[in-house]
Amino acid sequence: MAHLELATDHGQPLPDDSVSESPLAIRGLTVSYGEKPAVFSVDATFRDGSMTAIIGPNGAGKSTLLKASLGVVRPLAGAITVYGKPLKSQRYRIAYVPQRASVDWDFPTRVIDVVLMGLYRQLGLLGRVNAQHRARALDCLERVGMAAFAERQIGQLSGGQQQRVFLARALAQDAELYLLDEPFAGVDAATEKAIIDVLKTLNRQGRTVVAVHHDLATVTDYFDRVFLINVRKVAEGALADTFTAANLQAAYGGRLATAQIDDLELAAH
């Protein structure tokens, strides 16, 4: 049966199993930085083992949704569960790759140290790094093609290289749920390919990937589900049901020209 959940479903109780089986379930989330909410009354149920693109125009609340899911911003209202349990006790199961622009790249630290941060659970309170930890961090750098840069200062890398290092840190964490905020923004084609290959490999291993994504032309190739938002949820579901011209119009309004929509490989709805 086609699975299409529209924004009108919030407020209705969802069956318990959809929450308990979901790596990330959001109910009634409202976040406000000032008077106007950035995210309003949003429900979302990210499916285990799926690859979901969060899509919407600038300022639609996409980053805010991720930050609230990590407990980084405090919501006005709403509940977030991770694998059916409160976020607080499950935070370690989530790896996060922030938006590149939001990171202070001038802090003096080496690439390998950034990746070792992903091993914080193994390192314990004293943070003693042994040969095994180092080998694991190097292996993660290898997987994103950055092993040769291990000793380099993070500020001395290009934007795409920095993005790969942050992905390596997320890999080191060996999480089950990966949240990425525009992982392909400002990277070249080779880096984009390297990143999507890593994400698809994680997904094949059963990990859940949720990424804020701006390039509508690659949605169909990269993802199997979409979550459309413009402060409120517009729609969420499988590509075939949800990545439609009508939903894109609803999310972007006049900001997306009909010609742009016509060029996309959309679901036939």
Encoded amino acid at 215, one letter: D
Pick 40 or 243: Cβ nearer ligand ATP: 40
Name which of 47 and 100 has its Cβ closer to ligand ATP. Answer: 100
Helix (H, G, I), strand (E, B) or coil at 228: strand
Q: Which residues make beta-bridge pairs with 30?
A: 77
Q: How far is the CB of 76 from ligand ATP (least distance, A)?
A: 13
Question: Residue 250: phi, psi to the nearest 5?
Answer: -65, -35
Nearest distance from C-beta of residue 30 to ligand ATP, angstroms:
12
Least distance between ligand ATP and beta carbon 136 (Å): 32
Q: What is the DSSP string of 96-113?
A: EE--GGGS-TTS--BHHH
Contact 168, 119 (CB under 8 A): no
| Nearer CB in complex with ligand ATP: 23/61 | 61
* Residue (66 or 177) nearer to ligand ATP, CB: 66
The CB-of-184 to ligand ATP minimum distance in angstroms stands at 13
Total residue count of the chain as it appears in this document: 269
Q: How many Å apart are CA 247 and CA 253, to the nearest integer?
A: 10
Distance of alpha carbon 23 from alpha carbon 69, whole angstroms:
11
Is the CB of 58 or the CB of 205 nearer to ligand ATP? Answer: 58
Site of interaction with ligand ATP (CB under 6 A) = 33, 38, 56, 58-64
Q: How far apart are CA 72 and CA 176, in angstroms?
A: 19
Q: How far apart are CA 230 and CA 251, in angstroms?
A: 5
> What phi and psi, each to the nearest 5 degrees, are found at residue 247?
-70, -35
**Of residues 72 and 148, the one with the C-beta less far from ligand ATP:** 72
Task: Name the minimum Å distance from CB 63 to ligand ATP.
Answer: 3
Q: Which is nearer to ligand ATP, 64 or 244 (CB)?
A: 64
H/E element, 79: strand 77-82
Residue 139 and residue 56 in contact, taking contact as beta carbons nearer than 8 Å? no
